[in-house]
């Protein structure tokens, strides 16, 4: 910390400005990560529930006809043409009547819908939605925001450095006017510290 205080203003001010810009960027990144995770989960939930309802309506017709083979074939078509990693249908006792794909896994989230025939519940549809593609898109979005925050911090650093160098030059000129011959303390880099040192050694009757 002391080393930072001893730096020239041409470095102090840009570093502080860039640090503040980076902090703001990271806060915005955290908000973006939170909101994108919530929106992704909501989209996945709505998609999974809607797909489960759609599968339920499709297999209900086959089960009403007693065509279990057709119901199983419908499951495979849904797996091939959607984001579902796996689909299974169960009877009211929980016994599987048909399964297609992989029903459980680290990137799979399960959603269910009842199979209704008339007023009765004949079973349940269990759909596993693969959210890995959504996760990859979300991480790409967050990494792009992180790169943008870093670029913005660099831009702030460069812009502030131009102003800080002009300020440091002006303060050095003022210090040159105030300093007495032989009173310059070697090793001081900070312009304000130099001016303070020059003022302290001035005679009191000036």
pLDDT digits (tens, 9 = 90+) for 105-129: 777 888 889 988 877 888 899 998 8
Given a contact cutoff of 8 angstroms between Cβ atoms, the answer to whether 123 and 63 are in contact is yes
For residue 204, is pLDDT > 60?
no
Question: For the chain, what is the radius of gyration of the CA atoms?
Answer: 34
Q: What is the mean pLDDT of residues 170-190?
A: 62
Q: What is the mean pLDDT of the chain?
A: 81
Whole-angstrom distance, CA of residue 12 vs CA of residue 168: 11
| Residues 160/17, Cβ–Cβ less than 8 Å | yes
Three-state SS at 154: helix
pTM greater than the 0.75 cutoff: no
The tens digit of pLDDT for each residue in 145-161 reads 899 999 999 999 999 98
Say if residue 9's pLDDT is above 60: yes
């Amino acid at each position: 910390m002391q080393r930072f205080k001893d730096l020239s203003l041409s470095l102090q001010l840009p570093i502080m400005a860039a640090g503040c810009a980076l902090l703001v960027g990271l806060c915005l990144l955290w908000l973006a990560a939170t909101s994108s995770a919530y929106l992704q989960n909501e989209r996945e939930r709505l998609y999974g529930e809607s797909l489960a309802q759609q599968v339920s309506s499709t297999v209900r017709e086959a089960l009403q006809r007693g065509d279990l083979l057709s119901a199983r074939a419908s499951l495979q078509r849904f797996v091939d043409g959607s984001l579902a990693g796996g689909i299974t249908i169960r009877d009211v006792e929980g016994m599987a009547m048909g399964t297609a794909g992989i029903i459980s896994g680290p990137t799979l989230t399960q959603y269910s819908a009842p199979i209704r025939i008339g007023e009765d519940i004949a079973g349940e549809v269990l759909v596993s939605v693969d959210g890995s593609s959504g996760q990859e898109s979300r991480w790409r979005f967050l990494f792009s925001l992180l790169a943008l925050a870093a670029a913005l911090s660099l831009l702030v650093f460069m812009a502030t450095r131009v102003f800080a160098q002009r300020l440091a030059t002006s303060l050095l000129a003022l210090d040159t006017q105030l300093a007495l011959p032989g009173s310059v303390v070697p090793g001081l880099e900070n312009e304000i510290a130099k001016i303070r040192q020059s003022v302290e050694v001035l005679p009191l009757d000036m």
